[in-house]
Amino acid sequence: MTVFLIVIIALALIFDYINGFHDAANSIATVVSTKVLTPFQAVAWAAFFNFVAFFIFKDHGVAHTIAKTVKEEFITLPVIISGLLAAISWNLLTWWYGIPSSSSHTLIGGFAGAAIAHAGFNSVNPEPVIKTVSFIVLAPMVGLLMAFIISLWFINSFRKGMAPKLVSIGVIVAMGIVLSNVLVTETPKLLGLKTTTENITRGVGIEDVGFKSPAFNTKVKKGDVITAVGDIPVNESKELGNAFDNFHNGEPITLHIVRKDEPIVVQSVYEMGYKNRFWLGVFYGHNFKWLLMALVLLVVSVFTLFLSSLNVAKSQVWFKRMQLVSSAVFSIGHGGNDAQKVMGIITA
């Protein structure tokens, strides 16, 4: 058993290493081909922002999807090893022949294939597999459509007149409206608590506690019912959030909890992971993804507002600078996504 675990961890690290030089070209292809950066500078640039992504993305959605590929009762150490070996082999083969391929899809396919060989098709959860297969088709089509729209946007921005500028201003306003509707601001969610009041007469139920989330360290467990924070009773998620907002990072906190029908008092420390609530909201996984996309659109929109006033030489300089921005953002997204692949199969 121990030997198998060591082999799995070693194979996972090998997969991650291969994934690094297999996928490194994704975020540096344009900046190298246009000579904005040398290959060495581009790799260092991409490596830095891939590394930064680890400290930004605290949720583990990709890892969760991969871990749920195979039904729990059919997950064995030989199945995991077989899936990793298959993924490593395919990555090396496609890298050798210069074929672009997704390491995420490879890992899920290898994991699912090993489980099918072990226990048949019923061993695989259809939902994550269908989701993955559908995006094999959708991802390039969506990318193509978005690139087409952005190219038209840039081309028309060179024209004199108000119409192109109104489009750019409209995008900025629309992004602001979208952000105001999609950003998570409720403190319990930001702390990693999934709450419910359904079928609960008194208090707020905890449906889930995010792994390694700020709430994970407060000793709150899945299935608990929080009835009071300090001397403040809570019966709704909003009341729970307001009660939490009375505390500062690092302060002691007393939680009155019903756990398995037994009332208990939990003494803990209120930890947000950041010095204040603002940064907690900014770096909350769901919020940061939207803010990152908004930043890209804001940069592009502002850039297009001034394109018509630039000559060819100046516009080329600014397009090269934009390539650096896009490469950095791509690397952050890539790091946040790909860092979780082997986490999923190890935690399965």
Neighbours of 297 (CB within 10 A): 17
At residue 170, the pLDDT reads: 93
Q: What b/e readout covers 190-220, taking b as 16+ CB neighbours within 10 angstroms?
A: bbbbebebeeeeebbbbeebbeebbbbbbbb
Measured between alpha carbons, how far is 235 from 195 in angstroms, rounded to an integer? 11
Q: What is the DSSP letter of 223?
A: T
pTM here?
A: 0.73
CA of 75: how far to CAs of 72, 85, 218, 221, 237, in Å? Answer: 5, 16, 31, 26, 36
User: For 159, phi and psi rounded to 5 degrees?
Assistant: -75, 145
At residue 31, the pLDDT reads: 83
Q: What is the mean pLDDT of each run of 10 residues along the chain (348 residues)?
A: 81 81 72 84 84 71 75 87 90 84 82 90 87 84 91 85 88 94 90 86 86 78 89 89 86 89 87 81 85 88 84 82 83 72 62
Distant-in-sequence, close-in-space partners of 158: CB < 8 Å, separation ≥ 6 = 307, 308, 315
CB 215 within 8 A of CB 193: yes
Q: Angle at the Cα of 106 (from 104 to 107), degrees rounded to 5? A: 65
At residue 347, the pLDDT reads: 60
At residue 172, the pLDDT reads: 93
Measured between alpha carbons, how far is 268 from 255 in angstroms, rounded to an integer? 8
